[in-house]
Amino acid sequence: MKIILATEAYYPLIDGGAVAEHHLALGLAKRGHEVHILAPSENFKDSKEDDNGTTIHRFASFPIPFVKNDHRLALLPAAKIRRLLDKINPDVVHIHNPFPIGKATLSYCLEKKIPVVATNHWLPENITTFMAKFRFLNNMDFLVKMNWKFIADFHNKCQYVTSPTQTAVDLMLQNGLVAPNKAVSNGVNLTVFNPALDATPLRTRLGIPNKPIALYAGRLSGEKHVDVFVRAMSAVLATCDVHFVIGGNGREKAALQAAVAELGISKHVTFPGFLEDPEFPLLYRMGDVFVMPSICELQVLRH
């Protein structure tokens, strides 16, 4: 099959959706499908590249205000997407974001009657609280409702909708989704992530003491509320001899490091930054407790 993945966040960008989409594209290519990815470029120019059996078509883009070192949006990609899809003639399209590339691709598919699957990776908080100083926006109910309407309206135009957990699907149903839907887990490679791993080399390289580890791993972005974790550390240290690890990078990293220093607990906290694939599973293996302060996660299970 000829398969299109349309997204505003893709490799080498590091966020949950971008990583999942990259793995999906490579997996589909390994099964013999012709896979094309539509994604923003890292500058104002169009480009094309091959990636392990897939083809990435990148469209000129611009930095999003306040997050210019992170996500970007394609600049008026509709005409270029139309010409490209005319040439590829896809059998099915999988859209991952309701933004310029996703909207232009969906419009084309509706006109040409090409089947569209959409996966929702978003919650309103991803938009309203992407920086900690903007969290007050999440208290404005009308903004949350507007964002849910935006998400639901887009996905209701698709033939089928997925999201990583049933909780995520239920949230969409509660907020206006009527299109056919199903929870589809991203899955975990148990060969890569397993208890038999020895995390000693990573612990030694990072200089982490032989103590119980409370671990956070993910983007250091406002909606993740990692600063709440930091503010709780002093209270934890008053009763437990533990070490804290905050893995990952993001726009809030400098502020979090400054907060740790101000609290006088720097010797109890390690910021390893971004880890390459071979070491990333070791980070999880090293942790004794995983900390999830975020209010904005679709990778959660219903109790």
Segment 253-271, tens digit of pLDDT:
999 999 999 999 999 999 9
Examine the pLDDT at 4 and tell me if it is beyond 90.
Answer: yes
Residue scoring higher pLDDT (294 or 69): 294
Tell if the pTM clears 0.75, that is, is over it.
Answer: yes
Examine the pLDDT at 128 and tell me if it is beyond 70.
Answer: no
User: So what's the pLDDT on residue 2?
Assistant: 98
pLDDT tens, position by position, 197-207: 999 999 999 99
Residue scoring higher pLDDT (185 or 29): 29
pLDDT grade for 302, boundaries at 50, 70 and 90: very low
User: So what's the pLDDT on residue 136?
Assistant: 54
Cβ count near 102 (within 10 Å): 23
The residue-averaged pLDDT of 146-155 equals 93
Cβ count near 150 (within 10 Å): 15
Average pLDDT in the chain: 90
User: So what's the pLDDT on residue 275?
Assistant: 87
User: So what's the pLDDT on residue 218?
Assistant: 86
Q: Does domain 2-183 have CATH number 3.40.50.2000?
A: yes
- What does the buried/exposed string (b/e) look like for 196-229 if buried means 16 or more CB atoms within 10 Å of the residue's CB? eeebeebbeebebeeeebbbbbbbbbbbbbbbeb
The residue-averaged pLDDT of 26-43 equals 96
Cis peptide before 12 (omega within 30 of 0): yes
The residue-averaged pLDDT of 207-220 equals 93
Distances from the Cα of 19 to the Cα of 113, 203, 235, angstroms: 29, 25, 34
% pLDDT > 70, the chain: 91
The residue-averaged pLDDT of 211-223 equals 90
**Contact between 185 and 203 (Cβ < 8 Å):** no
User: So what's the pLDDT on residue 303?
Assistant: 38
Residue scoring higher pLDDT (290 or 277): 290
Examine the pLDDT at 208 and tell me if it is beyond 80.
Answer: yes
Classify domain 200-290 at the CATH topology level. Answer: Rossmann fold (3.40.50)
Residue scoring higher pLDDT (164 or 78): 78
Residues carrying CATH 3.40.50.2000, the chain = 2-183, 200-290
% pLDDT > 90, the chain: 66
Helix residue spans in the chain (DSSP H): 16-30, 78-88, 100-112, 124-128, 141-155, 166-174, 200-206, 226-237, 253-262, 280-286
pLDDT grade for 175, boundaries at 50, 70 and 90: very high
